[in-house]
Amino acid sequence: MKNIEESRIGIFVCHCGFNIGGVVDIPTVVNYAKTLPDVVCAEENLYTCSSTGLSLIKDCIKKYGLNRVVVASCTPASHEPLFRSTCEEAGLNKYLFEMVNIREHSSWVHMKYPREATEKAKDLIRMAVAKARHLQPREEIELEINPSALVVGGGISGITAAVSLARQGFEIHLVEMEVELGGMLRDLHKLQPTGRDASKVLQEAVAAVKSNSNIHLHMSTRVKEVDGFIGNFNVTLQKGESRDDLEQLKVGTIIVATGAESFKPVGKHGYRDYENVVTQLELEQLLKSKELGEHRHVVMIQCVGSREKTGRTYCSRICCMVALNNALLLKKLYPESEVTILFRDLQTYGDYEDCYREARAKFINFIRYDEDKPPQVISKPDAGLVVRVFDTYLGMDVELDSDLVVLSTPLVQHEAGRELSPALKVPLGTDGFFFEAHPKLRPVDFTSDGIFVCGTAHGPKDITESIAQA
């Protein structure tokens, strides 16, 4: 396609305070820009995104009759919409705008080489001008959209998202692969820091779903295939294991809330070898069902299967709080019991710091161990266990008699999430969890417009955080 008019290009180079101007020689860049083909205006500004900078762009469009605009500044991810709308306000089609990032791509990465950074900025602007000469005006079209949403996952975050949207009048399809709603919340006992009964929270959430006529439940169902785009997604659901029992849906948006699952540390610290070695989640199930019985000596081992040198290198965030919560519950049920927590590092953010202080006050013991010298769980002839650990504070091995060992294991991506990733064409990060578009600017969005994520499918979170994100 050929240009229907001669290009008249305006270039606006931003200092971005000292972010760009402290490295790149802006006046030299501006003078160079004036020599480029079809450039009739080149200006510099301390902050092009300020009201003064935006006014300069609009004034120059009118004064010089600009029909193309190039801004050399920071990242288009945050500022491109602002500059496009400024062009539009001045009567210029917003698609006749080009932005070049000379902050991340030049000044920041070459801050110790100002001369080379300046030359690179000039080269980036030259390429942007070459592209701008061939830009054509475009008009956006309007399409009918489907005012409904698909929520994949019936845990607490999926339920919260579904109920919230349904109460706003939208039609919701809530898909759950299991026969019951609730996800991991079904297995929890007491929630921290509130201390509420998990069963009551779940009952209230499920009641809110079933009482809302805008929510259509699809139990024992998986998402088989998805195509389309924001506002018009075509979704194929598979009921049960039958490949022939399929259902077609049309929705406008998709929310991924497939949740996570607790890692099973088979082969670590005697798990599955000794019946009195359990995970924190299994301990909560025993507490909830009142099947635990009294244990006089309980040892909890943190970071089992997480923060490894390879594989699951990430911290699961909530393990420390879960251990503190369960340790306090054990001391409440059995005041004479001795509870010891073996940790590498202890993370108790927010209100959970109070739990740590309470644990100290109730004489729960804390022993720090080294990653290179992990605790050993050894069976005794009398069916008890001994946990041997090198105490980094004492600088010596310590042996702890134990009749219950509890392993704090990380949350890992649920199989439903792993299956859904290729179907939705949305990425998983190196930790196996869904990868958002931008951690600060678009923390619940995927790069595919119209698809969102919430809850532990996105990463380890407690119940409060999962609800808040939904």
Q: Which of 108, 132, 156 is the last residue of a domain?
A: 132
- Residue 358 pLDDT: 94
- The answer to whether 209 touches 162, Cβ cutoff 8 Å, is yes
Asked which of 82, 108, 132 is the last residue of a domain, the reply is 132
Checking phi first, is residue 259 left (phi over 0); if not, alpha (psi -120 to 50) or beta? Answer: left
- Give residue 1's pLDDT: 43
Task: Examine residue 2 and state whether it is found in any structural domain, yes or no.
Answer: no
Residue 104 belongs to a domain: yes
From 141, 140, 1, 3, select the one nearest 67 (Cα to Cα): 3
| Beta bridge mates, 388 | 376, 399
Query: What pLDDT does residue 338 have?
Result: 95
Query: What's the CATH number where 159 sits?
Result: 3.50.50.60
Integer Cα distance of 193 and 256 in angstroms: 26
Q: Are residues 202 and 294 in the same domain?
A: no
Taking only the tens of pLDDT, the chain with its 470 residues reads: 445 578 999 999 999 999 999 999 999 999 999 999 999 999 999 999 999 999 999 999 999 999 999 999 999 988 999 999 999 999 999 999 999 999 999 999 999 999 999 999 999 999 999 999 999 999 988 889 999 999 999 999 999 999 999 999 999 999 999 999 999 999 999 887 778 899 999 999 999 999 999 999 999 999 999 999 999 999 999 998 777 789 999 999 999 999 999 999 999 999 999 999 999 999 999 988 888 888 889 999 999 999 999 889 999 999 999 999 999 999 999 999 999 999 999 999 888 899 999 999 999 999 999 999 999 999 988 778 999 999 999 999 999 999 999 999 999 999 999 999 999 999 999 999 999 998 888 899 998 999 999 999 999 999 999 999 98
Domain check: are 280 and 291 in the same one? yes
Same domain, 154 and 97: no
What lies within 8 Å, CB to CB, of 427 at 6+ separation is 421, 434, 435, 446, 447
Strand order in the sheet with 338-343: 277-279, 404-407, 297-301, 338-343, 365-368
Residue 188 lies in a domain: yes
Q: Is residue 18 part of a domain?
A: yes
Specify the number of domains making up the chain: 3
Check: CB of residue 287 under 8 Å from CB of residue 326: yes
In a domain? residue 64:
yes
Same domain for 71 and 43: yes
Do residues 385 and 429 share a domain? no
58 by Cβ neighbours in 10 Å (0-12 / 13-18 / 19+) ranks as middle
Could you tell me if 185 and 282 are in contact, meaning their C-beta atoms sit under 8 angstroms apart?
no
Same domain membership, residue 390 and residue 273: yes
269 plus 354 within the same structural domain? yes
The secondary structure of residue 285, as a DSSP letter, is H
Strands 365-368 and 338-343: parallel
Q: What pLDDT, on a 0 to 100 scale, did the predictor assign at position 110?
A: 97
The confidence score (pLDDT) of residue 87 equals: 97
Instruction: Kindly report whether the global pTM for this prediction surpasses the value 0.85.
Output: no
Identify the domain boundary among 132, 157, 178: 132
Encode burial over 126-146: b for 16+ CB neighbours within 10 A, e otherwise. bebbeebbebeeeeeeeeeeb
- Say what the pLDDT of residue 4 is: 52
Give a yes or no: residue 359 inside a domain: yes
Same domain? 120 vs 227: no
C-alpha angle with apex 214: 208 to 218, nearest 5 degrees?
A: 80
Quickly list DSSP for 420-431. HHHHHT--B-TT
Residue 256's nearest CA partner among 462, 455, 425 is 455
Give yes or no: residues 257 and 271 share one domain. no
In a domain, 141, yes or no: no
- Examine the domain organization and report whether 256 and 273 are in the same domain: no
Do 248 and 272 belong to one domain?
no
Residue 139 forms part of a structural domain: no
Judgement on whether residues 392 and 353 belong to the same structural domain of the protein:
yes
Q: Tokens for 27?
A: 């006046």
Q: CB neighbours of 394 closer than 8 A, spacing ≥ 6?
A: none
- CATH number, position 59: 3.40.50
**Which range of residues forms the domain containing residue 90?**
9-132
